[in-house]
Amino acid sequence: MKEEKKKVENLAYKIKKYTYEEFLEIDDDRYELLDGELYLMSAPSRLHQEVVGEIYRQIANYLEDKRCKPFVAPLNVKLSEKKNKYCTVVQPDVMVVCDKNKLSDKGIEGPPDLVIEVLSQYNANHDIFYKFNLYQYYGVKEYWIIDMQRQVITPYILNKDGVITLPKMYKLTQDIKIGILKNCTISLRKIFEENEQLLKEENEEY
């Protein structure tokens, strides 16, 4: 009989760090592991999930029968240094991996080639600052931040020296090419038009 997974309610309030193996025992996909410490993610809104689903659909359609593979949260992405037993495990909204050796039954082990995060009012600083530095450090080639409140998309590209190049900001209504995927263009215009009033109301509240 398989050993029952641990419930995070019994662990989260203890002051301790978790190894990768201990993290996998937690039966709750709302958590990320940041240098061994648990980070509780907020529940996504309906619009957040609609945007994530549409981006994944467009990328998946483009990558059909191609080498790279698209994935969508929740899926563990392990980022760690071999010398450090306390690793970082994140769950990006959408990701693309072109190296099949990074794929395992536990998720993805190593930096994806493309990561896309859709901000919410609860995780904005986490994605803009912490994850920006994290993805740059571990060598994610392309990182998109989609800000529905400000109605902008900012793609960050890692150059050959491992440094993020000065980004260009796009409006939600623009079609945007993914740098690492030739001829792959993402369009959120329809979602924006269908939810323009909702975005306006949420922006006023925010």
Per-residue pLDDT tens over the stretch 70-125: 999 999 999 976 656 788 999 999 999 999 999 999 999 999 999 999 998 777 88
How many helices and strands, by DSSP H and E, does the chain display? 6, 14
Average pLDDT rounded to a whole number, residues 36-61? 94
Q: Is the pLDDT of residue 5 over 60?
A: no
pLDDT value, residue 1: 45
Both tokens assigned to 113:
């080639």
CATH number of the domain that residue 171 is part of = 3.90.1570.10
| Most confident among 4-13, 15-24, 192-201 (mean pLDDT) | 15-24
Residue pair 127/140 in contact (Cβ under 8 Å)? The answer is: no
What's the predicted TM-score (pTM) here? 0.87
CA 79 and chain centroid, separation: 13
In this structure, is residue 69 part of a structural domain? Answer: yes
Q: What percent of the chain has pLDDT over 70?
A: 88
Q: What is the mean pLDDT of residues 22-31?
A: 92
Give the phi and the psi of residue 205 in degrees, each rounded to 5.
-70, -40
Establish if 128 belongs to a structural domain: yes
Examine residue 6 and state whether it is found in any structural domain, yes or no. no
How many residues are listed for the chain in this entry? Answer: 206
Mean pLDDT of 174-183: 95
In a domain, 17, yes or no: no
pLDDT at 83: 58
149-155 long-range contacts (CB < 8 A, ≥24 apart) are: 149/119, 149/121, 149/199, 149/202, 149/203, 149/206, 150/203, 151/192, 151/199, 153/188, 155/179
Assigned domain for 85 exists: no
Is the residue at 32 inside a domain? no
Percent of the chain beyond pLDDT 90? Answer: 65
Q: Tens digits of per-residue pLDDT, 116-149?
A: 999 987 778 888 889 999 999 999 999 999 998 8
Residue 175 domain-assigned (yes or no): yes
In a domain? residue 14: no
CB 148 within 8 A of CB 47: yes
3-class DSSP assignment, residue 2 = coil
Query: Domain range holding 197?
Result: 43-74+92-205
| Domains identified in the chain, total number | 1
CA distances from 73 to 93, 176, 183 (A): 5, 22, 24
